[in-house]
Structure 1
């Protein structure tokens, strides 16, 4: 009655304390967490039903008021309690609930939950789940972060599951060093426990004992009864394998002392069986019988059917060794009936083996042979079933892996297709760019060509205009010269005046149309006469004059007027020029002269 009153009082106290801090956030609850946890665990140990009522009431209240901060803290306390009592299924479920309460932005809280999920699955020997959550942690944080020790510890567990015990120990030693530097005792104890397991698997029992004792020292300081019980049992098993029965019994006794605190019927029944087996090996049969009977009674009280079955198997074998054959037969038959009702074939085979031993000791060899045959038959079926289960498991894993590989292949194919499409897109863009560039380049070239053509046309027209102007000026001067000559002739016919005649001749010389023609022609066609002279040094001044006139596209008549010679004389000059140029008579001088200028350019 007093326990119920205390639970109600604690319910009111915790309820008031947490609600009173509803606006202050999660951090304000941390200082009181240790006290609340101890009270939670104490109530759970003393009256589990009161604890469940307390937890359910707070959970319902916080959920209805949408107080997610307080609800998260309540679950956090609850997970510690579940870890203490070893209820890992409920622990995993509660951690997933806590994960749902956290948003993706609260990265630190999620990482902590991932780590705790990994360790919870480790306790349940769920290797795949352990690796899954370990990889979640590694994807979220780097190895050099503040979680380095935890990551190394998880890597050690992974290596241990893969039977890479030496590698596991390397990770665990490094993790233990970090935990020791940071004074993280609970994590350090976990690292020591894992190392002890690895050394046990390697057959190094002395190292196993060394690290188990270091773990026990930490767990005692922390008051972790569950972890102490497990460590004591591990030491007991280790010494039992080495036939150091006194030392094994010593640690089993220490585990039993802790069980008075934890009060776990299942673990207590297990401890009673372990100690009874030691006494049986020491041939202290009364002590072994007492412990087996106590285990049977405890199992019946708490409906632990397997404990009742195993107690009868052990008692049947013990009574056989004590030569109490009737009691042995009764216990073994009871165990056989339980094994069949519970459908435990392995235990049923074990009972047939013990019955065979009993009949052998009695001298009933036919019955012994019959029971032994049943044992081998059941055992073979168990082996075959085990093989089938293993084959089924392997097939399931194969199909799962095949499906996963198919998914990966399809994903890779999809990625490859996307990659090809991306490349085609890039190629298309580049092709369009090249086409656009090529078109612009051609357009630019065409524009340049058009500009050059237009410029050449303008130059040609300007040149033609200048040549026409030059020709007109030259013809005008030819006409002027003719007039001057007429004047001179008239003066000669009239009064002779030597002075006037000399002046007229001077004017005639100044008005030489060829001199002006040459100078202006050079301006219109620079370097023409110079290049022609260099190419054909045999040409005379008259030849160069003729080439220049031809270059101006003058007709034979126009050339004759300028040179004041007949058309036939012009044709004669052209013929002689062809010979000097080593050209045939059929060559058109105008075309040759223009072609020569193009080549020179």
Structure 2
């Protein structure tokens, strides 16, 4: 492309015809197509140089500028597209006319003027080539559907979107671009059924879109299809394919280039972890989301800086041109000031949105913390009740054993006593001991998973502890006495004291420090 530009400049130097300098400038504009901030001044320069001489150049430049300002300054965009349409209509249906109608319809749609947007979409439909531009014709029917949706006419929205789908699916050979657009329209159709609360139909269409886009490596389409499906699950509570969708998001994450898309994906995964109480991964993904928001803020700042630099460069260049008309300079300067203001306002809005998102994230984390705290408090209360019941059972067991021994002594000392009555009483006390053991086991078994998790954590932190010491730590945590533990395990009270001293030594506690209190912090 550089060589083409140089060739045109050489022709201009040889023949001094303005056509060649214009063509070289036009090639230069195309060369900077990927560098928006550098292209805008070049387009204005070309537009000024052409000065309405060549219709194609005027139309192309105005169309280019209209697309550049669609988001940052819709009014400027509308001014340029009107200029392009007016010029193109004078030469008939050629160049960009159907696309210009289409673009103006889009601007009107974004503005909320759906009735007039329909007018220009229909103009575009009638000017597109019926056989060569099927995808654009289908696109117009999809746009009709979008307008009817905003106008509250969902039946017409569904009808027009289905028409667009049929136009492409009825072809004998469908290329990949057409396939992509078919599933894009199915996504639009799903949104209309979603408004009608036909969730199953909407989910089916979105799953088709998600499977196609994921299989064909269309990462952005897969992301937004997944987002819409998960929003349906939020409404219905049915999460049939949620795990598969989240896994697919993890796969496409590295393929996304746009930071905003990465933020959307990360938020979906974060919400998934939150729903499933996966606080470990939730914390990590929340930090990642915060980093992405910071990256987006920095990107916006850099873009603003580039835009301002490009504008400053152009303004300085224009000021240094002695022969430049003063009125045009003022108009251009005014335009650039408006543009900078619009970009700056947009940047401020972005920062506020990011700040709001961060505040929402902090609020959610606060809710999670409070919920976790409440759960822990309830769990602690439950454990206290269990310990209380265990102590009670142990005391009853001790008293029953004492009574059992007393009866045995009584049998031994007393000669004139009916053994049958004594045996019945002994049998009753044995049954009591069995029932108390059963209750103790139920309490212990009920906490078996909790105890296992506790012992795993303790073993990870203090690997020097033996399995037996870990098991006894469960009782030490409950603040059971040596006598109470001896009733549950085959140890003497003295052995339990020795074990307790060893455990305190291994984990670095002094004699004065309470082992039970320490273990309850694990």
TM-score by length of 2: 0.46
Bigger RCO (CA 8 Å, 6+ sep): 2
Structure exhibiting the larger radius of gyration computed from Cα positions: 1
TM-score by length of structure 1 reads 0.41
